[in-house]
Amino acid sequence: MTAVMERAAPEAARSARSFWTLRRRDQLTAYVFITPALLGAAAFVFLPLVLVVWYSLHEWNVLADTFDFVGADNYQRLLDDPNMPSVLRATAFFSVGLVVFNLALALLLAVLLNQKLRGTTFFRVLFFSPVVVSLLAWTIVWGFLLRDNGILSFGPNWLRSGSTALVSVVVVQVFKNVGLNMVLFLAALQGVPQELYEAARTDGAGPWTIFRRITLPLISPTILLTSIITVVGSLQVFAQISVLTQGGPGTSTTVLVYYLYQQAFQFHAFGYGATLSVLLFLIVLALTVLQWQMRKRWVFHEH
């Protein structure tokens, strides 16, 4: 302590200019540079996260402009809500269906594009193109294709029958975004060392064994990453539900985000909407933690 004082004393005696050492100026620059991002995150990410918990303990009546503390009432309502089992089932089914179908198709496309063929760049562009087609345009044209006298109107009325509506929305969403995961898988496949394949072939392994024993373990970090992105993304799907099914028929496609939108902004159950938001956050959090735990278990690590 005294040593610091002794050193500080002559330093303070020097001119003000020497106070602004390179290191101090660097520090100041750093704080100036991060301030807009931190203030933004504070105002539009963290503060609202605190508020959403606070609001879930209140009831806000927009018209009468009353804002009353109601304690755990909204959480009791959540437990008693007869729609909740169906909403959670739809959400789970949607997410699981989306991840499984998306990852399987992405891997299939990536394996096909990874063959030594001419024109794979062309096909890559075609498979990727829906990613850049405006989300609403894509959703609307699929609504047009799947409607009762649309071009795909063999079989059931896809969007109006309880057994197919959710699957239809999954399919529309998978074709929209599978290109992203496809590109990630393609990069991962190209990173697998060729020597491993050659060695396996010399040992007499067939293509399926090579895929299962070499390719899959080596690209497992990418599988985990894409599954996290895809699961979290699936929980945010709103426009597709809103345009294609409005949550119906019944509540068969009412996923959590859509339900929270309905409660907060259509039925003006604002506090309950906040409670559903808290639930959504907890689900995202739990899934992310769970998947990072899984990473330790089964993902292959290079040393």
Partner 1 sequence: MSIKVKLFLYGALLVLCVPFVFPTWWMITSSFKPNAEIFSPSLWPSSWSVEPWRQVFEMQPFAQQYFNSAYIAVVVTLGTLVVASMAGYAFARIRFRGQNALFLLVLTGLLIPSEVTIVPLFRVFNTLGLVDTHWPLILVPMLGPSSVLATFIMRQFFITLPGELEEAARMDGLGRPAIFRRIALPLARPALGAVAIFTFLHSWNLYLEPVVYISTQTRYTLPQALTQFTDAYQGALWNVQLSAASMTAIPVLIVFVLAQRQFIEGLAHTGLKG
**Distance of closest approach, residue 122 Cβ to partner 1, in angstroms:** 9
Binding span for partner 1 by CB under 8 A among 3-11, 77-85, 207-215, 283-291: 283-291
Decide if residue 13 touches partner 1 (CB under 8 A): no
3-state secondary structure of 65: coil
**Residue of 223, 235, 234 whose CA lies nearest to 291:** 223
Binding pattern for the stretch 29-48 against partner 1, x by CB under 8 A and - elsewhere: xxx-xx-xxxxxx-xxxx-x
End-to-end CA distance of the chain: 44
Query: From the CB of residue 246, how many other CB atoms can be counted at a distance below 10 Å?
Result: 13
Decide if residue 301 touches partner 1 (CB under 8 A): no
CA distance 75 to 89: 19
**Distance of closest approach, residue 299 Cβ to partner 1, in angstroms:** 15
**Distance of closest approach, residue 3 Cβ to partner 1, in angstroms:** 21
112 neighbors 181 (Cβ within 8 angstroms): no
* Distances in whole angstroms, Cα of residue 86 to Cα of each of 81, 82, 91, 163: 10, 8, 8, 13
Amino acid at 246: Q
Binding span for partner 1 by CB under 8 A among 5-13, 50-58, 83-91, 292-300: 50-58
Decide if residue 292 touches partner 1 (CB under 8 A): no
**Distance of closest approach, residue 58 Cβ to partner 1, in angstroms:** 10
Among 180, 214, 224, 299, binds partner 1 (CB under 8 A): 180
Binding pattern for the stretch 67-106 against partner 1, x by CB under 8 A and - elsewhere: ----------------------------------------
Question: Nearer to partner 1 by C-beta: 165 or 183?
Answer: 183
Binding span for partner 1 by CB under 8 A among 9-17, 52-60, 155-163, 205-213: 52-60
Which residue shows structure tokens 């499984």? 100
**Distance of closest approach, residue 48 Cβ to partner 1, in angstroms:** 4
Q: Residues 220 to 239: which contact partner 1 by CB under 8 A? A: 225, 229, 232, 235-236, 238-239
Among 7, 14, 17, 116, binds partner 1 (CB under 8 A): 116
**Environment class of 179 (CB within 10 Å of its CB; exposed 0-12, middle 13-18, buried 19+):** buried
Question: Nearer to partner 1 by C-beta: 2 or 123?
Answer: 123
Q: Residues 184 to 203: which contact partner 1 by CB under 8 A? A: 184, 187
Angle of helix 216-234 relative to helix 270-298, nearest 10 degrees, comes to 180
Among 159, 223, 231, 280, binds partner 1 (CB under 8 A): 280
**Distance of closest approach, residue 169 Cβ to partner 1, in angstroms:** 14
* Distances in whole angstroms, Cα of residue 262 to Cα of each of 89, 116, 209, 274: 17, 50, 49, 12
CA distance 136 to 145: 14
Pure H helices in the chain: 2-13, 16-19, 22-41, 47-55, 73-80, 84-113, 120-132, 135-146, 165-190, 194-202, 207-210, 216-234, 239-244, 256-261, 270-298
**Distance of closest approach, residue 179 Cβ to partner 1, in angstroms:** 8
